[in-house]
Amino acid sequence: MRVLSGVQPSGKIHLGNYFGAMKHHIELQKKNEALYFIADYHALTSIQDKNQLKKNILDVAMDYLALGLDPKKTIFFKHSDVPQVTELAWILTTITPMGLLERCHSYKDKIANAINPNHGIFAYPVLMAADILIYNSELVPVGKDQKQHIEVTRDIAVKFNNIYEEIFTVPKEYIMQQYAVVPGIDGQKMSKSYGNTIDIFAAENEIRKKVMSIVTDCAALNEPKDPDKCNLFALFALFASEDEKNEVAQGYRKGGLGYKVVKDKLFNNIINHFKPYREKRLYYENNKKEVLDILFDGAVKAQAIAQETMEKVRDAVGIKL
């Protein structure tokens, strides 16, 4: 099955990115034909600093490779290296109803919060549809917050196929919900916009500082605690074995287990879990040309697929003479 997903180069990779998306992407590459891209075109809606964007693009490429993305199994490339996508996006805009885009949550949320969205944010679902349809993607792994955009893609694909001819595969979404929403150090959803993240590749002293600042309640050492209502326990559970989770949960409920002890366990688990990935990340930092070569090779493969689709689209809409 052909799987496609993109990741925006919006900053440093944190635990929420890893458990919410990246871990799933890397698992899916084992038994599927996967295409994963760095969504730099999408990032332009919010990042207008060219040096920051360049750094972010390279960082997310190294992060994915370090965490296990295999360029021998997966087509890994940069969004902007496949210009056929923006051509298709324009063609799709000509059949996409305004009302469909006006109903999208991402746009409505900006309006509700008195934020003046740019056209890129308004038209984001059309570019996302082009991303998916140009490769005839069958499965699109997304979080629940992106489900509506997949529905928009399906609507656009069906409309195009009905107006012109059956060219596009109508994709299925794969909602990545095996893992609960990863809480940040303040208990909200872990997000760069909230400033509550634990970055995977930060220095160890920075990770320790973040872990030790995880917000907990004021229960005294000997008081019973509820693991199901504790964001520290939720983070600890991401790394712990069943025996470790049961041991800490029992310690919570009986009382006598302090949060400092659990924070120390969590810090050690984070460092141990990501140690081989951190070493691999350092390798890519010292071999950036290899990273660029991987992205170039991926773009060549992606372009070949995209060009084949666009030849059919151009013919179908009447602009190929």
Name the residues annotated as catalytic: 110, 189, 192
DSSP 149-210: HHHHHHHHHHHHHHHS-S-S---EEEE--SSPPPB-TTSSBP-GGGT---BTTS-HHHHHHH
The backbone torsions φ and ψ at residue 28, rounded to the nearest 5 degrees and listed phi first, read -65, -25
Q: How far is CA 280 from CA 63, 168, 203, 277, in A?
A: 9, 38, 15, 5
Report the DSSP beta bridge partners of residue 34.
3, 74
| CA nearest to 260, candidates 212, 226, 293 | 212
Q: Which two tokens stand for residue 287?
A: 């071999």
Q: What sign results for the dihedral spanned by CA atoms 149, 153, 156, 159?
A: negative
213 DSSP assignment = T
- Pure H helices in the chain: 15-17, 23-28, 40-43, 50-66, 84-93, 98-102, 105-112, 119-133, 147-163, 204-212, 231-239, 242-254, 259-285, 288-317
Tokens 């992606």 label which residue?
A: 302
Q: How far apart are CA 305 and CA 123, in angstroms?
A: 24
| CA nearest to 261, candidates 218, 212, 300, 194 | 212
**223 CB-contact burial (10 Å; exposed 0-12 / middle 13-18 / buried 19+):** exposed
